[in-house]
Amino acid sequence: MVITSFLVNFIIRTPTIFTMSLESALQSIKCGEFVLLFDSAGRENEIDMVVAAEFVTPEHVARMRQHAGGLLCIAINNDFAKSLELKYMHEILADSSISNKEMIMGLAPYGDHPTFSLSVNHYQTYTGITDKDRSLTIREMANIFNVENKQKKFASSFKTPGHVPLLIASRGLLAARQGHTEMSVYLTQLAGLTPVTAICEMMDAETYSALSIDKAEKFAKQNGFPLLDGKELLEYARVH
């Protein structure tokens, strides 16, 4: 897929503080490296560390734990979730016998529905929470995408509840919802990879809130990671 000319035109006419383009992000994610992904100031206003799940090692998990610190999740595309017979957690709870339905989360303050489904551990893990255990769970989740009978393999290979939440991207991806779940899955699809990602929000231990863009940009430069503005990804999706 040729994106260079589009990106050049887009970057020239779109002011941005970000130093890396979509092309750099695609190259990074294809190599099993991290991409820092900002959704937008009008949404969560957060930056996630993103990596393609098929490449995840214990080192990836350790780095997300140390340098991001948010909730480490697996994001999967909608068709894959359906093949596994997964549902959103808010739908599961709505159909359950839970007495207080008011507890079930509707729209978040920024206007989107949650994408959480089950939380899982791979059956070969011990506690499920170590860097080795979580990397195994994440990587094996991606591997199921290429299995013929996905649901059978999923049911026999994973246990729930576990230590890695599954997030289901909306059908239609960015046309329906512009969250880190959809953006990260779309990024892997553009890269020609399995549409399963590991994502983790970047937190700030000094302010006790989400990491600022300025600090994220400094971290990206120090570590050689692309910092991708979600607006660039949305514009590319709109054009193509």
Active site amino acids: 48, 73, 110, 121, 163, 201
Q: CA-to-CA distance for 60 and 200, rounded, in angstroms?
A: 11
* DSSP at 31: T
Q: Which pair of structure tokens corresponds to residue 34?
A: 């991290």
Taking Cα atoms as reference points, which of 152, 153, 87 lies closest to residue 115?
87
Per the listing, tokens 């995408």 go with 145
Taking Cα atoms as reference points, which of 40, 59, 97, 81 lies closest to residue 185?
81
Q: CA-to-CA distance for 73 and 141, rounded, in angstroms?
A: 11
Q: CA-to-CA distance for 55 and 18, rounded, in angstroms?
A: 25
Per the listing, tokens 């393999």 go with 153
* DSSP at 84: T
Phi, psi of 165 (to 5 degrees): -70, 140
Contact 50, 34 (CB under 8 A): yes
Contact 180, 46 (CB under 8 A): yes
Amino acid at 25: A
